Amino acid sequence: MMTPQQKKNRLFIVIIFGMTIIPFLIALGLQQNPTFLKSGTNIGQLISPAITTEPSDFIGFDVFSTANLSELSGHWLLVNVIPSEHCNEVCLDALLKIKQLRLMLNKEFPRTRRVVIIFKDVSAANASQWWLKDSLLWRLRQTQKPADDALFNTLLHEENSLDEARIAQLIGSENRETVLKSDLIKIKPSENLRKKITAIRTDNLPDGLLLLIDPLGNIMMQYESGFDPYKVKDDLMHLLKASQIG
């Protein structure tokens, strides 16, 4: 019969053994079943296998974007997709959410780039309104004033344009060129990339779809319309902390 001291010694040995073997078993289990980890760390949908892209798949939509195509390589890309000739309130709201998301990244901000992929040919007038609203409407969202909220919701609709008087009102006393300067890289996809993105969905691509592309050019995650930028931020921070690239 064991003495109380012997029982304590045996218990101590069992505890030490458990502390040694249990982490190994957990690591082995996650290695064999990676979906356990993935399901607990993201609210987006993992694209598996990831969809590869090439630099030639990205064609600049305008002069600024063409001059900055090199920025797409080696960065995490937050990509909104505009699948039709129109950018409705869901589409425009998604663009503004990604602007907000990048600002929330703080010191990780430089590791990301904001991109929009435009599938259809759109008129210069329509595109100009999209980019103006992208530059200006987020200011209304920051004030948290009822009048600004009402104006924001009105201008979010594509049929309600920004005229010169409204633009001047929103810019105020600030420098116009600085205010309207945009970080948004606008892309026309190659036919190959168009087919790859379309194949992600069994139905039509929704307005407001968000894609995440890693620094190696792999399309790896998608987020549905109406995504929560705070939850996307949580996902992205996990990836940025784990990644040694980008």
In a domain, 14, yes or no: no
pTM for the whole structure: 0.81
Q: Which domain holds residue 57?
A: 46-124+182-242
Strands 76-82 and 112-118: parallel
- Model pLDDT for residues 175-198, shown as the tens digit of each residue: 999 999 999 999 999 999 999 999
So what's the pLDDT on residue 202? 78
So what's the pLDDT on residue 42? 54
Q: Strand (E) positions, the chain?
A: 45-52, 58-60, 76-82, 112-118, 185-189, 210-213, 218-223
- State residue 83 phi and psi, 5-degree precision: -85, -15
In a domain, 41, yes or no: no
Q: What's the average model confidence in pLDDT over 130-136?
A: 95
Q: What's the average model confidence in pLDDT over 108-115?
A: 96
In a domain, 32, yes or no: no
User: Which residues is 80 bridged to in the sheet?
Assistant: 116, 210
Whole-number Cα distances in Å, 12 to 3, 5, 97, 122: 14, 10, 53, 72
In a domain, 75, yes or no: yes
Please state, in angstroms and rounded to a whole number, the distance separating the CA atoms of residues 144 and 240. 31
82 CB-near residues (< 8 Å, 6+ apart): 91, 116, 117, 118, 119, 120, 207
Fill in the amino acid letter for 47: I
Counting residues of the chain whose pLDDT is more than 90, the rounded percentage is 68
- Model pLDDT for residues 46-55, shown as the tens digit of each residue: 998 999 999 9
In a domain, 8, yes or no: no
Please state, in angstroms and rounded to a whole number, the distance separating the CA atoms of residues 170 and 114. 23
In a domain, 99, yes or no: yes
What is the tally of structural domains in the chain? 1
CA 194 to chain CA centroid, Å, is 19
When the pLDDT of each residue in the chain is averaged and rounded to a whole number, the result is 85
So what's the pLDDT on residue 7? 56
Report the CATH number at residue 225.
3.40.30.10
Fill in the amino acid letter for 228: D
In a domain, 10, yes or no: no
In a domain, 145, yes or no: no
So what's the pLDDT on residue 244? 73
